[in-house]
Amino acid sequence: MSGLNPFRFLKPGHVALALALSFRPVGAQQQNPKLLVYGIELDSEAFKDSLARPFWRALSEMPCASPNWSLQASSPSALAASTAPLLKRLRQAVGPPMPSAGSILERVTVFRGPRYTVERVLITSRVPGATSFAYVVRQGITPIARKTAAIILLHGSGMQPVEAFGWDVNNSYHANERSKNAAFIAAALEFAEAGYTVYVPWMADNADSPAWQELPWATLERNGAALRPRIKGLGPLTFLVNEVSAGVDYLSSLPDVDASKLAIVGWGEGSQIAAMSGALDQRFAAVVRLSPPIDRQALREAADGVLMLAHLTHIDCALGDREMAALIAPRPLLYAYSTKDESVARLARFVSLKIASGIRELYAALGVASNYRLQADTSWSSGDSRRVRTWVDAALRFQPRLVTDTIEVRQPTSTPSDAAWIDSTRVGRQGYAARLGTCVARSPRPDLGSVSAFLRSVEPFRRGLARDLGIPTQSGVASVSVLRRTPVARRSGYSLDFVQIRSSRTNMPISGLLAVPDGGPKKGLPAVVSADGDAGLGTPFGLFGRERVPYLNAYADALASAGTVVFVPYYPFEFPEIAAAETAARTNGGQTSFTYTVPLFSAAADFLLSLPEVDSTKIGIWGISFAGVAALYTAAIDTRFGSVVFSDPVVTADVLFGTLTSSSLVAWWPEICHTVDAVQAYLIAPRRFVRENGLRDANGYERSPLESVARIRNVYDSLGVGSEFILVRHSGGHETRPREVRPLLPQ
């Protein structure tokens, strides 16, 4: 599905806002001479990868909301009682059971063979108002009239549903995305030939996702993230598990399917969804995981484990393979995989015989040792597929049809386009979030009688904000140590150093570019933290030439050239969204992405304040897009910042979150939708606040024009400091313009 635009079913204004709030800077028109930092080219992929590792390591060290449980396997009832905490934790992520669905809305035959047909069906999801679609093998009329057994077959990232039939869609993947040795490929054929009804749903894809390797199934992650402000705990798994259950509802309604003979099979992320669905839906009589038994706690404690498999599955830090097996037992469970499968090879060092033995002991203790099997091979062959199918035959007590030794892959006359069906599924997911209501705004009760009374009245809201976002409190003065400082370049009016520091505020070392104005040792200089290090360290200074699409416009260069000390700390562009998805999966809301980003920028301020040149009363922070929100929230929590530049579209959050657009926003947005308007209005005043916005930016979602700006201005005017709030509206789009903004900051 290359070329598929995940936003094409939104209105143009919706597209603009969704893209603006996840803006990825476009490169420069021209390249200046390369700048080296310790022998590595500044802002090269190798440079960024090196600086990114501590961020992934920090996420891997995140505490996991693991339930307390003790296995009791003396009987099925004892097992059920002992695993109740596991079931509760899983329910927290999926939500309560929803009403049955699975009504057929549309059916198209895409393949017709001598033994079976393949249909593409659109059905109602258990998620109200939503739909899901799947490819379904339906058996033809056989000489012996009997009902068929059925399987649900789930794909993962790097596979598409039609691959289950061996159909060639290789040109619809990103480069290196497809797992060409996956056990999922042609997996439906063995079951189809043996007389099964096979249901292969579409769950998600990576179409038009440039960060698919770090953030698989990004659109699904965003759709799910939009549920969290409405109902705590819900997320992407809410959609997937309920869509699978709706598939069971549909299969159970077919007159030729024996609903007592139903198994679920999953590959990649689908392996984990299969286990979750099997745990929650007792209609599944057997579960097959086309993956190895993994020590998932060790996986998630590794820095590279943070970037393996879709983040929605990282609840496995709490619900690993042993825990999921305990929820499935005593029903039959099969692990089957090959070490050549790319999805397995990436996880090879986390394959665990200890976990496999623990599951075997569990089944043995229940007296059903034969219900558990592990099938591993060095490469996947038709023989492996045959062994999986015969295991399912035995587990379901199903008498299969005779299957020839060699199964021919029969291509459809034309590969069907799924675009409209994908749109329908995504729109339904988005609509569900909107129907749950908007993001209810929270606000302090400000006393506008005086500045001192105002600050006292909003302080509880400030503390509550830090608590709700999981931002750790720092008692006393944070300690800062400089690990490295080396010259990088001389610029017009200032010098650039690469700096690495350590701060007691965060366990991540902080790396960035420091600009110090020329003129020898000085005191009393203003300083600014640039929060736009996600665009690369050189871009804020214009080191690589003019941007093809105006965005930062070298504002750090403008500041430094005019005599301001500037520090640009680096963080990976994808980090805020990955952190939002990780914290939701691992901590069930106990942390947020701001748990990591706000201390980062406060530590940057600590560093600036340690410099003898800097005037501690003249510290500011500047950002646009996510960096703008990060600057806003950092200054809201950390009142040492005397000035803030917040450059972003002008919207009202509860209006925005009453629309479909909210389900397309980056995953960190729902973390702040309750508070972002109040933070602007009440937690920056009476300090200097520059609210920048382009007339051609993705503005809107307001009850009245500029209502959020009017709220801020009213607070400043009421406190008698109206001149400290300035709205800068320029004629451009999603960009920050230093010519208009820089003179408004302390000089």
pLDDT of residue 1: 31
Which whole number is the average pLDDT over 619-629?
A: 98
Q: Is the pLDDT of residue 414 over 80?
A: no
Asked, for residue 118, whether it belongs to a domain, the answer is no
Asked, for residue 82, whether it belongs to a domain, the answer is no
209 pLDDT band, cuts 50/70/90, is: confident
> End of a domain among 389, 406, 434?
434
- Taking a C-beta distance cutoff of 8 angstroms, is the pair 100, 130 a contact? no
Whether residue 428 is found in the same domain as residue 489: no
Q: Is the backbone of residue 238 left (phi > 0), alpha (psi -120 to 50) or beta?
A: alpha
The helix/strand/coil state of 552 is: coil
Q: Is the pLDDT of residue 402 over 70?
A: yes
Rounded to whole angstroms, how far apart are CA atoms 701 and 662? Answer: 11
Whether residue 386 is found in the same domain as residue 445: no
* Tokens found for residue 352: 């665990």
If we measure between CA atoms, which residue out of 476, 538, 432 comes closest to residue 42?
Answer: 538
> Is the bond leading into 569 cis (omega within 30 degrees of zero)?
no
Tokens 């500011």, located at residue = 620
Whether residue 336 is found in the same domain as residue 422: yes
Residue 12 or residue 686, greater confidence = 686
Asked, for residue 403, whether it belongs to a domain, the answer is no
pLDDT of residue 258: 96
Query: Cα torsion for 185, 186, 190, 196, to the nearest 10°?
Result: 100
The helix/strand/coil state of 211 is: coil
Asked, for residue 570, whether it belongs to a domain, the answer is yes
pLDDT of residue 143: 45
Whether residue 680 is found in the same domain as residue 740: yes
Tokens 């509760």, located at residue = 88
Asked, for residue 105, whether it belongs to a domain, the answer is no
174 pLDDT band, cuts 50/70/90, is: confident
Whether residue 301 is found in the same domain as residue 342: yes
- Taking a C-beta distance cutoff of 8 angstroms, is the pair 513, 499 a contact? yes
The helix/strand/coil state of 589 is: coil
The helix/strand/coil state of 481 is: strand
Asked, for residue 48, whether it belongs to a domain, the answer is yes
Q: What is the CATH number of the domain that holds 303?
A: 3.40.50.1820
Structure confidence by residue, pLDDT tens digits, 534-592 = 999 999 999 999 999 999 999 999 999 999 999 999 999 999 999 999 999 999 888 99
Whether residue 691 is found in the same domain as residue 590: yes
pLDDT of residue 307: 95
Query: Strands 688-694 and 725-730: what pairing?
Result: parallel
Helix axes 626-637, 594-609, angle to 10 degrees: 70
pLDDT of residue 412: 83
pLDDT of residue 232: 85
Structure confidence by residue, pLDDT tens digits, 419-461 = 899 999 999 999 999 899 999 999 999 999 999 999 999 999 9
723 pLDDT band, cuts 50/70/90, is: very high
> End of a domain among 406, 434, 462?
434
Contacts of 145 (CB under 8 A, 6+ apart): none
Whether residue 582 is found in the same domain as residue 614: yes
Q: Is the backbone of residue 227 left (phi > 0), alpha (psi -120 to 50) or beta?
A: alpha
Tokens 């079931």, located at residue = 87
Asked, for residue 20, whether it belongs to a domain, the answer is yes
Structure confidence by residue, pLDDT tens digits, 233-250 = 899 999 999 999 999 999
Structure confidence by residue, pLDDT tens digits, 138-151 = 998 654 467 999 99
E strands present in 255-347: 257-267, 286-290, 333-338
* Tokens found for residue 155: 């794909």
Whether residue 152 is found in the same domain as residue 265: yes
Whether residue 446 is found in the same domain as residue 302: no
Whether residue 424 is found in the same domain as residue 453: no
Structure confidence by residue, pLDDT tens digits, 480-514 = 999 999 999 999 999 999 999 999 999 899 999 99
- What percentage of the chain exceeds 90 in pLDDT? 84
- Beta bridge pairs of residue 414: none
Rounded to whole angstroms, how far apart are CA atoms 559 and 390? Answer: 70
Q: Is the pLDDT of residue 387 over 70?
A: yes
Which whole number is the average pLDDT over 522-530?
A: 93
pLDDT of residue 519: 83
pLDDT, averaged across the chain: 92
Query: Strands 104-112 and 116-124: what pairing?
Result: antiparallel
AA identity, residue 54: P
Q: Containing domain of residue 180, as a range?
A: 134-397+417-434
Total structural domains within the chain: 2
Whether residue 352 is found in the same domain as residue 473: no
> End of a domain among 434, 463, 498?
434
Asked, for residue 40, whether it belongs to a domain, the answer is yes
Whether residue 446 is found in the same domain as residue 391: no
